[in-house]
């Protein structure tokens, strides 16, 4: 008698965020047999607040689960949400928005491995090398486990997202209400990447039969400074958008006003200063090579979402 084949499930931590939500959408619209588990601290709210997305989801393909990195009692929820005959085969890991979470994340990797998860795909960042701060420690741990043949793994290291301007409150509000963009990046350039493209790379890493066992530096197609972004937005919106170049201290103070903890705001301002000094000044062909599609340009993205920026206050 042959053993019945188990249906694979994929858990997307941070499944309501900029990249996670797009991974869920892409996975659930694919013609695959996967069940997608969408993890969030507000699983119930997520069900009602993302109704239009939910309507397009096939209920048999997507389930929402309550998961909070800071409450280990919730870590088993994805496993208990699995219907009979389903196995959690892969997890997409997005860190909580706090510093010092790496030990917690590695502990969850072990927790999931003990329950049979084989593949882990981590979302890190272009500015973090394996072994570096935060997700860098998780990156190094996955690579080490992979070298011992104990997991299949991939680490995505995306640069800054185009969607930050439309979905992140600090930028969204300042464009909409003041026609201004604030950073401490000076004339430093960034290869802004679209979250749809990051999600497409992630979907391949989660579902390809052969495990990637590698890292991907996920970059967009053009190098643009915040000043360049402001010029493109001005053209798209038909009103003048201005980049205000702040000092590191001014940026930290501003981010804290948006509720960011002091230590995190300090790290974010240090990242802006490194961009000013050229740290993000490169592009590559990873999106095209992995997905077969060219990465999206910022102007096309801006055109597609321009309503979110309203008619705004004039600068």
- Residue number of the CB atom closest to ligand NAP: 17
Binding mask 296-315 for ligand NAP (x = CB under 6 A): --------------------
| Nearer to ligand NAP among residue 17 and residue 146 (C-beta) | 17
Q: In the complex, what is the shortest distance from the CB of residue 97 to ligand NAP, in angstroms, rounded to a whole number?
A: 5
Cα separation values, 154 from 21, 31, 243, Å: 19, 23, 36
Q: In the complex, what is the shortest distance from the CB of residue 170 to ligand NAP, in angstroms, rounded to a whole number?
A: 11
Rounded to the nearest 10 degrees, the angle between the axes of helix 248-257 and helix 262-276 is 140
Judge contact between 78 and 65, C-beta under 8 A.
yes
Q: In the complex, what is the shortest distance from the CB of residue 84 to ligand NAP, in angstroms, rounded to a whole number?
A: 26
Q: What is the DSSP string of 109-137?
A: HHHHHHTT--EEEEE--TT--TTSSTHHH
Q: What is the DSSP string of 131-157?
A: TSSTHHHHHHHHHHHHHTTS-EEEEEE
9 SS3 class: strand
Q: 53, 68, 113, 297: which one contacts ligand NAP (CB under 6 A)?
A: 68
Cα of 228 vs its chain's centroid, Å = 23
- 129 near ligand NAP, judged by CB under 6 A: no
Partners of residue 38 on adjacent β-strands: 12, 64
Q: In the complex, what is the shortest distance from the CB of residue 223 to ligand NAP, in angstroms, rounded to a whole number?
A: 15
Q: In the complex, what is the shortest distance from the CB of residue 148 to ligand NAP, in angstroms, rounded to a whole number?
A: 26
Q: 70, 187, 208, 235: which one contacts ligand NAP (CB under 6 A)?
A: 70
The torsion angle over the Cα atoms of residues 300, 304, 309 and 315, rounded to 10 degrees, is 30
Partners of residue 37 on adjacent β-strands: 11, 63
| Nearer to ligand NAP among residue 193 and residue 237 (C-beta) | 193
Binding mask 80-109 for ligand NAP (x = CB under 6 A): --------------xxxx------------
- 16 near ligand NAP, judged by CB under 6 A: yes
| 129: exposed, middle or buried (Cβ count in 10 Å: 0-12, 13-18, 19+) | middle
Stretch that binds ligand NAP, among 36-44, 142-150, 201-209, 252-260 (CB under 6 A): 36-44
Number of chain positions touching ligand NAP (CB under 6 A): 23
Token pair 């053009």 in the structure block, residue: 222
Judge contact between 134 and 105, C-beta under 8 A.
no
- 125 near ligand NAP, judged by CB under 6 A: yes
Q: 69, 108, 182, 216: which one contacts ligand NAP (CB under 6 A)?
A: 69
Q: In the complex, what is the shortest distance from the CB of residue 96 to ligand NAP, in angstroms, rounded to a whole number?
A: 4
Binding mask 160-179 for ligand NAP (x = CB under 6 A): xx--x---------------
Of 34, 33, 30, the closest CA to residue 11 belongs to 34
- 211 near ligand NAP, judged by CB under 6 A: no
Binding site for ligand NAP (CB under 6 A): 14, 16-20, 40-42, 67-70, 94-97, 123, 125, 158, 160-161, 164
């Amino acid at each position: 008698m042959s053993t019945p084949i188990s249906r694979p499930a994929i858990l997307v931590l941070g499944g309501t965020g900029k990249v996670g939500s797009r991974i869920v959408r892409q996975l659930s619209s694919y013609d695959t047999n996967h069940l997608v588990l969408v993890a969030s601290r507000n699983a119930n709210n997520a069900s009602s607040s993302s109704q239009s997305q939910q309507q397009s989801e096939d209920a048999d393909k997507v389930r929402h689960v309550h998961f909070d990195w800071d409450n280990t009692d919730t870590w088993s929820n994805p496993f208990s949400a699995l219907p009979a005959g389903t196995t959690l085969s892969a997890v997409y890991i997005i860190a909580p928005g706090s510093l010092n979470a790496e030990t917690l994340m590695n502990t969850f990797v072990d927790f999931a491995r003990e329950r049979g998860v084989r593949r882990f795909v981590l979302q890190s960042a272009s500015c973090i090398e394996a072994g570096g701060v935060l997700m860098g420690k998780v990156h190094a741990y996955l690579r080490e486990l992979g070298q011992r043949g104990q997991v299949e793994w991939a680490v995505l290291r995306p640069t800054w997202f185009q969607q930050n301007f439309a979905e992140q409150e600090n930028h969204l509000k300042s464009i909409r209400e003041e026609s201004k963009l604030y950073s401490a990046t000076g004339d430093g350039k960034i290869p802004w990447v679209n979250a749809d493209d990051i999600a497409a790379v992630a979907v391949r890493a989660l579902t390809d039969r052969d495990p990637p066992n590698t890292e991907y530096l996920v970059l967009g197609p053009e190098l643009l400074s915040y000043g360049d972004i402001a010029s493109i937005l001005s053209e798209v919106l038909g009103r003048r958008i201005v980049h205000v170049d702040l000092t590191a201290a001014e940026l930290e103070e501003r981010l804290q006003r948006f509720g960011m903890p002091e230590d995190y705001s300090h790290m974010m301002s240090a990242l802006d200063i490194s961009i000013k000094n050229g740290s993000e000044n490169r592009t590559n062909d990873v999106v095209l090579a992995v997905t077969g599609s060219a990465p999206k340009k910022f102007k096309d993205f801006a055109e597609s979402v321009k309503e979110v920026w309203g008619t705004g206050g004039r600068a």
